[in-house]
Structure 1
Amino acid sequence: MRLTRFSQALLVSVLAISSAGSVAETISGNTAESLLPDSNLIRQTLTQLPAMRTSRFQQDIADAQDQKLQSGGHEWQLRLSQTERKETGNIRTRDQEISLERPVRWFGKTEHDMRLGEKGREVAKIAYADSWHESARTLLNDWFDSLRTQAAVTQYEQQLQLSRQLRDIAAKRVKAGEAARLDLQLAETEVSKLEAQLQTAEMQHARQLELLQYHYPALKLPVVRELPIPSAASAEHRIEAIMEDNHELELATLEADYAKLQLSRTAKDEMPDPVIGVRAARERNGQDTLVGFSIAIPLGGQSRRADTGQAAGKAGMAQARLDVVRQKVWREALKVTQQRNQMYTIWKALDQAKRQSEQQSQLMMKAYQLGEISLSDSLQIRKTALETAFSAQQAQLDALFAEARFELDAHRLWPFDAHH
């Protein structure tokens, strides 16, 4: 009769958990962002990363290049000459000449260079924004990896506590003569196994914390005792939310435009720039004074046409890369969107199974305490409960990560524009 009453209690408890699961989820109002550090601290951390410093230097280079293009690459050239003249009758005279020359841009090259310099600055700015986003992605991955190892430690601590309780129950039953000594040995073995698993989890967590502190010394991992409830995707969580504002795609577009401008500018150089100058000369020991104006026009050749062909190839490559990046961004947006939906669905199923498994484990422990089942059956239920709880916990973190990753890619989490 005891076994029958236990089976009925088990069925009632499982049904109760099934009906109460949704109520427990609506109680919590936390989001994935509550697991993350303060946004201002994140921005300060990202700014100090090596990748961001490199991108900042690229902006400095683009500014300098813009200044060069505005002023032009041509320089003034000062030419001095002196000639000694020997005439009939052994008369010697000296001639001196001074000239100032400089090539000048024509056929709209100056305006074109100004546009090219401004476009280069735009490319550098968006490259910085894209580097910001990629660094934020890496930080988010590293942060959740640390949360996963921390959650594993917490999970094993809880399971070890329950296993020790079961060992104490077995010890009392053995002492009372209600169970064989083998039960106590099995319980102690289970405790030792969980202690070893806990030590392994603690080592992995410590190693992950070291990596986190090395890369992001200003960040401190919070102690999470209870994970927030993941939120389901809504109509706003679609591919377009990521595609509408994507730094990588914008960067590829600007680079293609920049390559087209370079092609147009190089084609203009097939018409060489003239060299203009002014000159003054004194001849015959100053008896004659000359002032004049000079102009020289280089004769373009095959080399300039080859430069245009090379620029055309680069422009074609930039356009082809834009098409590749557009497809890549779309695939990643689809993946992020689908993962958010899939991870939430998987977590819901595993969370329900975890609740049922935990209830069964508790009832089995009571049943063993009452002598209704063997310890080996109870340990098997405990093992199943542990595996289910661990899988549900990791699925919950995966769902929270997918939620945060979508918000990051949609530029609603740690947005670049807010930093500037």
Structure 2
Amino acid sequence: MKLYTCFLLAALLGTLAFGAQATPPAEIPADLSAILPPRQAVQQTLENLQTLRTARLQQDMAAASRQKLESGSYEWVLRAGQTRRTEASGQSLKDQEIALERPVRWFGKAGKDAAIGDKQISLAQLAYADTWHEAGRTLLNDWFDTLRASVYRQKMEEQLELSRQLRQLTEKRVRAGDAAQIELVQADTELQRLAAQWQQAQMREEQQLQLFSATYPGLQPVPLQTLPAPLPAGLSQNAWIDLIMDDNHELELAEEEAALSRMQASRSASDAMPDPTIGVRASRERDGQERLLGISISIPLSGSGRTADSNMAQVRARISAEKHSLTRMKVLRDAQRVTREAGHLYSIWQSQQQVEQQSQAQAATMMRAYQLGEAAFSDTLQTRRMALEASLTAATAQLDALQAHARLELDAHRLWTVD
């Protein structure tokens, strides 16, 4: 019975351990999943970026550095010599000597070097994660810049089509004698103006797409017919700040750098006790008439240079500690700014959406009134321009709100996390 109970307990612990390792990534919010590229495509794209490839090489260098620290910088030294002895009687004799010696690390220096090597590995891994996060931020900005160019071109196409309809309506009224010829000239001018703006928008979109494709091969933004409605952040500002601060590669990297500096300062302080050189030597004197075998030990006498090195290492450790404090303040300010922006931009989008709906309704009403001869062409044209401006402003606010939400998820490591 006891054996069975122990088996069940072991199985339960194994299941819990497996569940902890196999925790799936956080689900992407619906508004972002509809506008962002698939995670797998982003994963492959980021892994192939040169900055990430360089960061992986830094990990290899850290592994080599750890191996160097574990083995130490000391090497075996083989000494051999021969001398000729001439005695007063005129007899000539030969003396030979051979020695094998090597400095050794003592007082725990080898263990400290191994610990420094392990810390460098951890530091390189955090540097890779921080590089990944920064690359994700850049990708996010470039992705939304490309979407903005695409959305702007789509809005200009819509307005260009509405301008054609207005021009056709004006031509019919001029033929019917209900409008002056000048109104048709104005309609043609407006149509040409919007056509030129549409061509410029199309050119900017093509340039942005080419730049994005060259920077991120394998990712191709797909023009969206409709933008998803942004969702509220879902958590309070303080909760988002806690998420960002609790798992932040930049802050963790500064912590590890400070810890590494402290370890290096401790290691430098231990060098105040110099390492001895221990050797074994054998010699033959007087043509082998005398044979000697012994050991040797030599210890350098510590001087002011070692003290200066230790003081410099202590100063570097204090500098790293100050850098860590500054990094914490910077990360906290950035977290506060990102969370505030997400809330403000969501509210701005809601307001701009209402303005756009009202402007579109006014433009449609004015178009019908002009068709019935109840509104002037200049007033209709001005209302249409205001509706275009409101539409572009609302679309920009919508993309800004979506990007702010995505940035929040990214900084909280709930989006595009490194494996």
1:39 paired to 2:44: no
1:357 paired to 2:350: no
Q: Percent identity?
A: 49
Match of 1:249 among 248, 251, 265: 251
> 1:129·1:247 contact (CA, 8 Å) conserved in 2?
yes
How far off its partner does 1:233 sit?
2.1
Where does 1:222-371 land on structure 2 (aligned, <5 Å)?
222-235=222-235, 238-371=240-373
Structure 2 counterpart of 1:18: none
Distance 1:387 1:39 in 2: 35
How far off its partner does 1:206 sit?
1.4
1:152 paired to 2:152: yes
How far off its partner does 1:201 sit?
1.1
Any stretches of 5+ residues in structure 2 without a counterpart? 1-28
Change (3 A) 1:46 1:274: same
Any stretches of 5+ residues in structure 1 without a counterpart? 1-28
Q: Which moved more, 1:31-40 or 1:344-353?
A: 31-40
TM-score normalised by the chain length of structure 2 = 0.91
Structure 1 counterpart of 2:131: 131
Structure 1 counterpart of 2:8: none
Q: Structure 1, residues 220-269: CA drift from partner, whole Å, max 9, x if none?
A: 11121110000012225521111110000000001000000000000001
Distance 1:313 1:45 in 2: 41
Q: Which moved more, 1:406-415 or 1:64-73?
A: 64-73
> 1:80·1:98 contact (CA, 8 Å) conserved in 2?
yes
Structure 2 counterpart of 1:216: 216
Q: Structure 1, residues 134-182: CA drift from partner, whole Å, max 9, x if none?
A: 0100010001000000000000000110111000000011011111011
Structure 2 counterpart of 1:20: none
How far off its partner does 1:287 sit?
1.2
| Alignment-mate amino acid for residue 304 of structure 1 | R
Structure 1 counterpart of 2:140: 140
Q: Which moved more, 1:245-254 or 1:29-38?
A: 29-38
Where does 1:69-148 land on structure 2 (aligned, <5 Å)?
69-148=69-148
Where does 1:172-191 land on structure 2 (aligned, <5 Å)?
172-191=172-191
| Alignment-mate amino acid for residue 175 of structure 1 | R
Aligned residues: 389
2:62 is paired with a residue whose SS is helix
1:234 is paired with a residue whose SS is coil
TM-score normalised by the chain length of structure 1 = 0.91
Q: Structure 1, residues 170-201: CA drift from partner, whole Å, max 9, x if none?
A: 00110111110111111111111111111111
Distance 1:305 1:225 in 2: 70
1:193 paired to 2:190: no
Q: Give RMSD over aligned pairs.
A: 1.0
| Alignment-mate amino acid for residue 346 of structure 1 | I
Where does 1:196-207 land on structure 2 (aligned, <5 Å)?
196-207=196-207
Structure 2 counterpart of 1:11: none
Distance 1:138 1:173 in 2: 53
| Alignment-mate amino acid for residue 341 of structure 1 | G
> 1:30·1:229 contact (CA, 8 Å) conserved in 2?
no
> 1:149·1:201 contact (CA, 8 Å) conserved in 2?
yes
Where does 1:371-410 land on structure 2 (aligned, <5 Å)?
371-410=373-412
Distance 1:233 1:330 in 2: 18
Distance 2:30 2:242 in 1: 26
> 1:33·1:404 contact (CA, 8 Å) conserved in 2?
no
1:111 is paired with a residue whose SS is helix
Q: Structure 1, residues 302-341: CA drift from partner, whole Å, max 9, x if none?
A: 1111111111111011000001100000010011100110
Distance 2:53 2:206 in 1: 29
Q: Structure 1, residues 70-90: CA drift from partner, whole Å, max 9, x if none?
A: 111111111111111111222
How far off its partner does 1:357 sit?
0.6
How far off its partner does 1:30 sit?
4.1
Distance 1:235 1:146 in 2: 29
Distance 1:132 1:34 in 2: 23
> 1:103·1:274 contact (CA, 8 Å) conserved in 2?
yes
| Alignment-mate amino acid for residue 180 of structure 1 | A
